[in-house]
Chains A and B, each alone.
Chain A
Amino acid sequence: MAKLHVHTTVNGEAAEFLCEPHETLLAALRNELGLTGTKEGCATGDCGACSILLDGRLVPSCLVLAAESQDRAVTTIEGLALGDALHPLQRKFLEHAALQCGICTPGFIVAAKALLDRQPEPTEQEARFWLAGNLCRCTGYDKIIRAVLDTAAEMRKTAV
């Protein structure tokens, strides 16, 4: 079967690629566009390592077909920093040592951004339930949750 020609927007820039009809968006991002910051941990939507934003909505890119990104806006971990400035979540993850091996980190940061975009004042419980779709095997989540709540507090302060 012929490959599909997909036009999309990735991290604010126009992008196009060829893909198989059954190819996932995760595979296209990694293999066609070279954006390997989005990780595959399970390919079944259970681990969250491949979390991206599709038109601002948090999705596991392993469960989205590459062709579905036609004419839509994709945000990946590579698109979070603004120029030289890290996204506050990225900075707080570093400050709080909220990563060990780091394989889940891109997914957590993207998922946490989706949370803070919706709910700038999450409680610990809200943060824990929102991030329950992202598996981390190294940290026990403690420092991740602290980093997210601290980011929220700082962003509220700077927003005032």
Chain B
Amino acid sequence: MSDRTFTYVGTRPVRHDGMDKVTGRANYGADFSLPGMLHGVVVRSPHAHARIVSIDTHEAEAVPGVLAVVTARDIPETRAKLMLGEGALDLRDISENLLARTKVLYHGHTVAAVAATTLDAAREGAARVKVTYEVLEPVMTIEQALAANAPILHSDMITKGQHGAKAPSNVAARMELKRGDVGNGFTQADVVVEREFRTPTVHQGYIEPHACVARWGEDGRAFVWCSTQGPFAVRDQCAAVLGMDAAQVKVIPSEIGGGFGGKIVVYLEPLAVALSRKARRPVKMVMGREEVFRATGPTSGTRIRMKLGATRDGTFVAADASLYYEAGAYRGSPAGAGMMCLVAPYRIPNFVIEAFDVVVNKPKVAAYRAPGSPTASFAIESVIDELARELRLDPIDLRLKNAVVEGDAAPFGPAYGPIGLKALLEAARRHPHWKTPLAANQGRGVACGFWFNAGMNSSATVTLNMDGSAAVVTGNPDIGGTRAAQALMVSEELGIPVERIRPGVGDTDSSGYTDVTGGSRVCYATGMAVIGAAQDVREQLRARAAKIWNVDVASVTWEKGHAVPPKGAEKAEPLSVNDLAAKMTHTGGPIVGRASLYAPMAGPGFGAHICDLEVDPETGRSRVVRYTAFQDVGKAVHPSFVEGQIQGGAAQGIGWALNEEYVFDKNGVMENAGFLDYRMPVASDLPMIETVLIEVANPLHPYGVRGVGEVPIVPPLAAVANAMRDATGIRFTELPLSPPRVLAALNHEPTPVRTSDELSAVKADS
């Protein structure tokens, strides 16, 4: 707990997998090959919305070297649901996203896959798959999707949660979250600010494209080597899509070159298995960057109307919001999560928030770091900034005044446990960054962010070696340093130096079931499993010592890596882990600790970021000149990687705020499907990103750990936009704040601050 002192936890050892990564030896998804391997490529739709009239594969199959072609006919049709952790995935949607059956729903949608002896032959084969389409009008925006005469993507989609909905619609679901009496709440408000915000489709932007190798065996079993955030998720999706038992699929995860939520749903693996099954040869599939943009990932474009009222002293009294999130081609945007995160950092007695899950002809969205929260935060944190200006209050003070504390009810139900929001806001207010004067053309913004963090299923084993070193294995691919953290936990429990621990990532045969590396859950939930497995080893060591000393195990204590005999035990000296490990064969055999658990809850995470932005009035280009991120991290097990998560999340959020966006032409074709035109931050775009770690122990975890990975992408969108407002006097309500948009706004009159009266007039007009 918080008063616990640690020996290893909180130190910064070199990560165990680091050597392989700085020498180029580490194997990622595309680095694995098998003898006799074929190369698989996919045939993608050239249309954003079309009915498939026919698919003719004969000519493709005749290409020399082509050994297999698969289409939707090769995988079973299904309407089942697949449970993955907490979430139920619609298997039909996954299946049809993998191989379109009757319609293509975005440009780049897979319609067939081809395997051949060479990549060139596979590409030739893919070019000869003849698909006849009946082209339909694409639905590319929320407005188009909601229009009365909108083309309908799914003829059987009836809006869930919409009372009386009977006709097919592009709105998959309507959700609502309520507290108190909003109408009455707004009558208490002295100031009301309402704005409408828009954010574009953006991509996770992991540097490693999706890649896998699959090998089907004549015994009906399949092996899949791939880069994934969840080997069990890949196994279960492959098995479900292809109609196999989970036990027939073994997934061996490679090192993973980034995921951020985008490497959970499968895109290639079932295709590779199906191709291998047909060709009876191993099949390798690797996406190109353009395919990654066109057919994987992105997160929702959004439209959010946000209205917030406060009394003269800055007390929030009511909020009213409507959130529209694009799901892409199939239902399942993070609109619901956005709805629950929107007001999570604040005490607001009255609110009503409605959220809509809207399908459009874009790739099906995948999870992206705190899915749903950043765009919601952009809306409310921008509005809070405007409120602070109207009320002439310091924006940190205004947030502090309304910040949730332990015992306050979260908008989605339960009361918060110990949380560090106030502590980190106070740290931000005290920080020199907040007081340092700004130069010309510079502005400063602040914003908060929230993420639930996840628990779910985890398993771990700790194997003690006879020389006293140990191995720890979990089922979580390590994206950001979790192996180092897991080794530290084993060291902490057993007193074995961290260099003598070998942390590893198991495959689906060699580790117990573990949910994905995601939801900021690995250090928390899998960490608890690791601690449990290490404690299991410790209990076994105590039992072995008791056996050696011929005393009751209950009388054996454990101190600083030693089993300590009861006072008065004859000829009994404390035994170290090394001593006990050396004797294990004669005291009962191998010592393996294990733990499996389901963590129903996690420690909620809060952060606040301060951003200084400098705007070039001649070009509209802006640059982040100083950035400080404050976050309640619970307990930093390996502080360097906690800082790294925060710095990386901030950088992604800054990219989202300033430059990143999918640009579509009128036919629904993405025009910037490459890193040159989809502009992610590079080293020269950013300053050092200072991090301030606040440690408010999470009582659900033995060390106080709470998730840290997702919160840091939440505040930057508004922190940057608020800094832009400060620098230019212009409130931008649409992202990204790219030079053309900023320059256009600079060349016109600044947008005046709209009062609630003007807003009501606007509303009455519309």
Contact = CB atoms under 8 A, between A and B. Distances in A.
Given A41-B209, A44-B675, A144-B683, A97 B24 contact: no
Given A94-B22, A103-B208, 18 more contacts: A37-B24, A39-B28, A41-B209, A41-B675, A78-B25, A90-B22, A100-B258, A100-B480, A100-B641, A100-B645, A101-B256, A101-B479, A102-B26, A102-B255, A106-B24, A125-B684, A132-B682, A135-B680
A138 B648 contact: yes
Given A36-B31, A135-B682, A143-B644, A104 B688 contact: no
Contacts of A100: 258, 479-481, 641, 644-645, 648
Contact of A140 (B25, B206, B648): B648
A104 B25 CA distance: 13
Contacts of B680: 135, 137
B611 to A, nearest CB: 13
Contacts of A47: 207, 289, 675
B652 interface: yes
Given A37-B25, A138-B258, A101 B14 contact: no
Contact of A46 (B14, B640, B647, B675): B675
A142 B24 contact: no
A137 B205 contact: yes
Contact of B258 (A80, A89, A103, A140): A103
Most chain A Cβ neighbours within 10 Å, of B21, B30, B649, B685:
B21
Nearest to A77: B24
Interface string A14-55: 000000100000000010000111111111101101000000
Nearest to B679: A46
A138 B675 contact: no
A135 B675 contact: yes
Interface residues of A, number: 58
Contact of A102 (B14, B21, B288): B21
A139 B648 contact: yes
A2 to B, nearest CB: 14
A8 interface: no
Nearest to A81: B23
Contact of A78 (B18, B24, B644, B647): B24
B22 A86 contact: yes
Interface residues of B, number: 59
Contacts, number: 187
Interface in B245-269: 255-260
Interface string B681-704: 111111011000000000000000
B257 A103 contact: yes
10 A-B pairs with the lowest CB-CB distances in the bound complex, closest first: A37-B24, A103-B257, A140-B651, A102-B21, A140-B647, A97-B640, A77-B24, A46-B675, A90-B22, A36-B31
Contact of A99 (B22, B645, B685): B22
A125 B19 CA distance: 28
Contacts of A134: 682-683
B209 A142 contact: no
A153 to B, nearest CB: 16
Contact of B260 (A77, A127, A137): A137
A74 interface: no
Given A100-B641, A131-B683, A141-B651, A136 B207 contact: yes
A152 interface: no
Given A47-B207, A137-B206, A137-B207, A99 B674 contact: no
B12 A97 contact: yes
B207 A78 contact: no
Contacts of B167: none
A90 B207 contact: no
A80 B66 CA distance: 40
A97 B23 contact: no
Nearest to A104: B207
Given A39-B208, A44-B289, A132-B683, A143 B640 contact: yes
8 contacts: A46-B676, A78-B25, A101-B257, A101-B480, A102-B21, A105-B22, A127-B683, A146-B688
A77 B28 CA distance: 15
B22 A93 contact: yes
B27 interface: yes
A103 B23 contact: no
Nearest to A90: B22
A41 B210 CA distance: 10
Given A94-B14, A94-B19, A145-B683, A101 B24 contact: no
Contact of A97 (B27, B256, B641, B689): B641
A13 interface: no
Nearest to A107: B207
Interface in B361-402: none
B228 to A, nearest CB: 13
A63 to B, nearest CB: 12
A40 B208 CA distance: 7
A99 B21 contact: yes
Most chain A Cβ neighbours within 10 Å, of B256, B479, B480:
B480
A94 B13 CA distance: 9
Contacts of B286: 40
Nearest to B33: A31
Interface in B276-313: 286, 288-289
B222 interface: no
A115 to B, nearest CB: 11
A103 B28 contact: yes
